[in-house]
Structures are given as structure tokens and as C-alpha cells.
């Protein structure tokens, strides 16, 4: 088995939405295809990966460093019989990279890693969730995973009406857990948004809140006081990602669960969060983004680190809202996977075809991640597939 070509392309994700931290109107993502010399039905088997959201594309890093390293490698160094060894590929693409410096390269490496896992599952002829369950000797994987629907961005006009309509669409699509943005408006306006959201979701559902890392300690304290009495599932990213002291101070005064980690890009960052961030394993959630933090090889190290520190897998809810992360959550037995409420954007349509009932998604038996079955497949990968 040999990788014969690697293709990448930048895909626009422009969405007219904003959180308290960023606007998504110029957002981009990367698509990657690993082409092999293995043929199925007269066509090469190809490993595919599509980016997480909120990070922009990684084309320069992929073309200049990581793709050339893998293409130059001896196939015997990464082939595992008729399959491929994800750890060996990871070691190849990270060769001559200094320790530390966890920035944009973590997303570029994460994309190649995701394409390798897609490829490995396809070579076995099984969906990725089943491949990962077998890889970990887990016998209980079913292809089902609990999901929460993320949205509730601020609208330029008629914000409360737009919010209510969006959450109602989420309910109609089978979601019981939803998350909205806060911190981008005055506290009183955010409380009004929360009340509309709770009313729309109704009894039996749950609401989480995402501040996108914008609170200082005083602001976090004010919100926590105002939220007393409201049935909030968790408060996400109240403070900036790398201020572990601030995170610990907020955790010390928070009676509701916190969800953090989506903007940490490595094992090293996670270790510091667990050491100094004041988190509570019995209550809080860890949201490290698999694709943005060097991929599933690194995420496996993160899982083992946290488990040794007393964290159960049901406390992991990886950020992303994309199909690869859903497959990983199901296969590894994680607590939650994220999807987008809105299907108006390209990114939201990626997971829209996965059926959801009572907050549980059922993944297909399609080999690999399952991109090929999507209606938006050509929009995602049309520029990276060999013709």
C-alpha cells in the first residue's frame, strides 16, 4: 500500500453569524485527499478529511511542510500489511518539528491524521466508529452517539425571533440538547435570550451556554449570579483558553458545570489545564477539538492522560460539529458529539443527513467517515479528487 498523491483545497464556509468573539462571514476550511495505489471497483481508495470550523484553512502549512514529508516517505515506513499505520504517519509528518509551539500546525497535522483514519477504515471496509471500537477492543460500540446541537448566534435583526425559530428547527430535527451564544450582548439581553431558548426547548430538553472565552472574573461572576435558578446544562469557555488561573477562579465560584478545552491544541496544553485549571472531573466537560489538536493520535494521548487523572469518557464532548468527530465520539465511547443546528451553511449540511431521534444520532455503515454519501460531497471534495 502506497500513498501516490495528496491533494488539498481551501473551501469557503461564509456564514452570516457572529459569536461574542468572532464573525464567521469570511471563514474558510481545508479539504484533504490521500490517494493510494489500492484499487476498489476500478478506483483508487482515497482517505478524506474536512476541517473543523472557526480555524480557517491550512493550505500553506500542508503544501510547504506536511504533505511533502509524507509523499517522500518510504511506503514501508507507514504501511501495515494491506492497511496503514496512523501512528507511523503522524511520526513522519511531525519529523523535525520542535516540541511546543502548538499553533496552526496542529490543525494541518490533524487534517492529515483524519484522512489516514478514514483511509484505514475504508481499507478494512468498515465505518470509522466500528474501526475505532475494534482498535480499542471495545465491544459495546453501536454507532449511536448522544449529540447536542450548537447554534444560537447573534442575529443582526430580530435576534429573539431568529433564535426561537432556529431552536424550534432543532427540536423538529430530533434534538433535545442545544447550545446558544452569550457574552456578545449586555447581560440583560443575554438573559432574555436564555429565557426564550428555555421556553422553546421545553421540558425534557437541556440548554448550554457558550461565552467563547470572553469573560474576565468579574463578568463571569455576574453571569453566574444571574444564572442561579436557571436549568443550565453547562457554561462553555467562560474565560480565555490559556489563562488557567482565571479558569480555576471561575471554577471555584461556579455551581453549574463548565465545559472547556476547545481552544487547546495539544497534549501539553491539556496537561496544564488539568493541573492548574481547577476543573472538577465529576461535573465538568472537556472539549478538545480532535482535528485542531494534531488529530486522533494526539487525542488518544489526551484521553489516557485525563483518564489517569480521574476523568471518565462520558465527560468528553469534542468540539467540531463535523462528521469525523461524531465517528470518533461513537467509536471511542465519548459522552457527546456536537452538530450544527442550522443547515443553511455548508458546514451545517455535513451532519444534517445523520438521523437524530431524542438527542441520539445513528451513524451509517458506510466505510470510513461516510463523506461519500453526503449531498454536499462535491462541494467539500470536488477540488481534491483525482479526475
- Residue whose cell numbers read 442545544: 178
**Residue 301: other Cβ atoms inside 10 A:** 16
Is 179 one of the annotated active-site residues of the chain?
A: no
User: Which residue among 58, 175, 179, 181 is the active-site one?
Assistant: 181
CA–CA distance, 181 with 337 (Å, rounded to integer): 18
Task: Output the nine-digit C-alpha cell for 364.
Answer: 451509517
Element (H, E) at 250: helix 244-253
Is 98 one of the annotated active-site residues of the chain?
A: no
Q: Which of 69, 65, 64, 78 is nearest to 36 (CA)?
A: 78
In 158-225, the DSSP E strands lie at 177-181, 206-210
Q: Which of 242, 288, 286 is nearest to 265 (CA)?
A: 288
Question: Which DSSP string corresponds to 77-143?
Answer: GTEETTEE-HHHHHHHHTTTPPSS--STHHHHHHHHHHHHHHHHHHHHTSBHHHHHHHHTT-S---S
Cα dihedral 341, 344, 350, 353 in deg (nearest 10): 70
Task: Output the nine-digit C-alpha cell for 146.
Answer: 448522544
In eight-state DSSP terms, residue 313 is G
User: Which residue among 98, 175, 319, 387 is the active-site one?
Assistant: 319
Active-site annotation, residues = 181, 319
Amino acid at each position: 500500500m502506497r500513498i501516490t498523491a495528496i491533494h488539498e483545497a481551501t473551501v469557503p464556509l461564509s456564514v452570516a453569524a457572529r459569536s461574542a468573539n468572532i464573525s464567521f462571514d469570511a471563514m474558510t476550511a481545508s479539504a484533504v485527499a490521500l490517494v493510494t495505489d489500492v484499487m476498489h471497483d476500478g478506483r483508487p481508495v482515497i482517505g478524506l478529511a474536512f476541517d473543523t470550523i472557526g480555524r480557517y484553512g491550512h493550505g500553506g502549512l500542508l503544501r510547504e511542510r506536511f504533505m511533502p514529508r509524507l509523499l517522500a516517505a518510504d511506503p514501508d515506513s507507514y504501511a501495515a500489511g494491506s492497511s496503514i499505520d496512523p501512528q507511523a504517519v503522524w511520526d513522519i509528518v511531525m519529523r523535525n518539528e520542535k516540541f511546543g509551539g502548538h499553533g496552526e500546525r496542529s490543525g494541518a497535522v490533524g487534517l492529515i491524521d483524519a484522512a489516514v483514519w478514514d483511509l484505514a477504515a475504508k481499507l478494512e471496509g468498515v465505518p470509522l466508529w466500528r474501526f475505532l471500537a475494534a482498535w480499542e477492543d471495545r465491544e459495546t460500540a453501536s454507532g449511536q452517539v448522544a449529540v447536542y446541537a450548537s447554534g444560537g448566534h447573534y442575529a443582526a435583526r430580530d435576534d429573539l425571533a431568529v433564535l426561537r425559530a432556529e431552536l424550534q428547527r432543532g427540536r423538529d430535527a430530533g434534538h433535545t440538547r442545544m447550545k446558544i451564544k452569550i457574552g456578545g450582548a449586555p447581560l440583560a439581553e443575554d438573559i432574555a435570550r436564555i429565557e426564550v431558548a428555555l421556553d422553546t426547548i421545553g421540558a425534557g430538553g437541556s440548554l448550554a451556554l457558550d461565552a467563547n472565552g470572553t469573560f474576565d472574573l468579574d463578568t463571569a461572576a455576574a453571569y453566574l449570579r444571574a444564572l442561579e435558578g436557571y436549568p443550565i446544562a453547562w457554561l462553555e469557555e467562560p474565560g480565555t483558553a490559556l489563562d488557567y488561573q482565571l479558569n480555576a477562579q471561575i471554577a471555584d465560584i461556579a455551581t453549574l458545570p463548565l465545559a472547556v478545552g476547545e481552544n487547546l491544541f495539544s497534549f501539553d496544553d491539556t496537561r496544564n489545564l488539568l493541573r492548574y485549571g481547577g476543573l472538577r472531573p465529576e461535573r465538568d466537560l472537556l472539549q478538545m477539538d480532535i482535528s485542531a489538536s494534531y488529530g486522533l493520535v494526539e487525542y488518544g494521548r489526551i484521553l489516557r492522560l485525563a483518564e489517569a487523572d480521574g476523568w471518565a469518557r462520558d465527560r468528553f464532548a469534542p468540539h467540531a460539529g463535523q462528521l469525523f468527530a461524531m465517528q470518533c465520539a461513537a467509536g471511542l465511547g465519548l459522552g457527546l458529539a456536537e452538530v450544527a443546528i442550522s443547515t443553511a451553511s455548508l458546514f451545517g449540511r455535513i451532519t444534517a443527513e445523520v438521523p437524530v431521534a431524542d438527542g441520539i444520532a445513528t451513524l451509517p455503515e458506510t466505510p470510513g467517515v461516510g463523506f461519500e454519501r453526503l449531498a454536499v460531497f462535491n462541494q467539500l471534495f470536488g477540488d481534491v479528487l483525482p479526475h
